[in-house]
């Protein structure tokens, strides 16, 4: 398939960000004091990032609930919705690179169910490409997380606003990210029954040689 019209998105969720007077691996700014233990942190956020490998645009959504399949797919759908109509029309395929984490793996029933739904909604084919366990560090979004860590290294993220503002100040290939906060609440542990999953599996075109790592989902209109 020609690369023209392909959206190549690299996706990952970063480790939970704890809000409070906590040390973050560097000399804390301001009074140079910070707690070295979280002592029962109550406010936490899950960053989910998507970087476009061609345009270098970066979107980071901080979720205030749990890292779930639904949170990840909602973040992908929001990225698509933010494209202008010409970009959508010119897109022939969305190619998504990610690690094989438990919330978005090639065997996670709820994730695959939602991705089939998404392909139908946007009426575009979606290809899921997974990194094996150790090479996942080469996923481009991982380098974005490293830059974000350096940006707020030593900063006391005492509230959500401070966290968001520091994230907005980082740059990836000269561009500032689009940063959003999600207040949606997600339920953990959602999974499909065997009958429902058989219907989903029928919509997946798994590569014969790499069935867990290369999955193509065509929209219903072209299946």
Q: In the structure, what pLDDT confidence band is assigned to residue 2 with cuts at 50, 70 and 90?
A: very low
Q: What is the pLDDT of residue 123?
A: 97
Question: In the predicted model, is pLDDT for residue 135 greater than 90?
Answer: no
d(CA 35, CA 192): 42
Q: Three-state SS string across 100-116, please?
A: CCCCCCCCCHHHHHHHH
Q: What is the pLDDT of residue 1?
A: 41
Helix, strand, coil shares of the chain, percent, nearest 5, are 30, 25, 45
Segment 86-98 mean pLDDT: 97
The residue count of the chain comes to 223
Q: What is the pLDDT of residue 44?
A: 93
pLDDT in tens, 144-175: 999 999 999 878 899 999 999 999 999 999 99
DSSP state of 2: -
pLDDT in tens, 4-62: 899 999 999 998 998 988 755 555 445 555 555 555 567 899 999 999 999 999 999 99
Percent of the chain past pLDDT 90, that is, above it, reads: 77
Q: In the structure, what pLDDT confidence band is assigned to residue 121 with cuts at 50, 70 and 90?
A: very high
Q: What is the pLDDT of residue 35?
A: 53
Of 221, 208, 219, 13, the C-alpha closest to 103 is 13
**Residue 132, CB half-sphere, CA atoms under 13 Å: how many?**
3
């Amino acid at each position: 398939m020609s690369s023209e019209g392909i959206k190549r998105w690299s996706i990952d969720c970063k480790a939970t960000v704890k809000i409070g007077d906590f040390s973050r691996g560097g000399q804390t700014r301001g009074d140079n004091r910070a707690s070295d233990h979280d002592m029962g942190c109550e406010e936490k956020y899950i960053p989910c990032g998507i970087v476009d490998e061609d345009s270098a645009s970066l979107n980071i959504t901080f979720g205030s609930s749990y890292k779930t399949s639904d949170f990840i797919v909602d973040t992908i759908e929001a990225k698509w919705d933010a494209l202008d109509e010409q970009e959508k029309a010119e897109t022939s395929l969305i190619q998504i690179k990610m690690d094989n984490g438990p919330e978005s793996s090639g065997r996670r029933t709820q994730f695959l169910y939602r991705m089939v739904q998404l392909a139908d909604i946007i009426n575009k084919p979606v290809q899921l490409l997974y990194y094996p366990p150790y090479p996942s560090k080469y996923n481009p979004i991982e380098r974005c997380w490293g830059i974000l860590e350096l940006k707020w290294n030593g900063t006391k993220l005492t509230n959500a606003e401070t966290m968001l503002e520091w994230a907005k100040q980082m740059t990836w290939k000269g561009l500032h990210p689009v940063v959003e906060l999600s207040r949606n609440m997600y339920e953990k542990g959602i999974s499909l029954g065997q009958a429902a999953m058989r219907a989903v599996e029928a919509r997946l075109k798994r590569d014969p040689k790499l069935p867990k790592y290369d999955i193509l989902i065509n929209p219903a209109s072209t299946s």
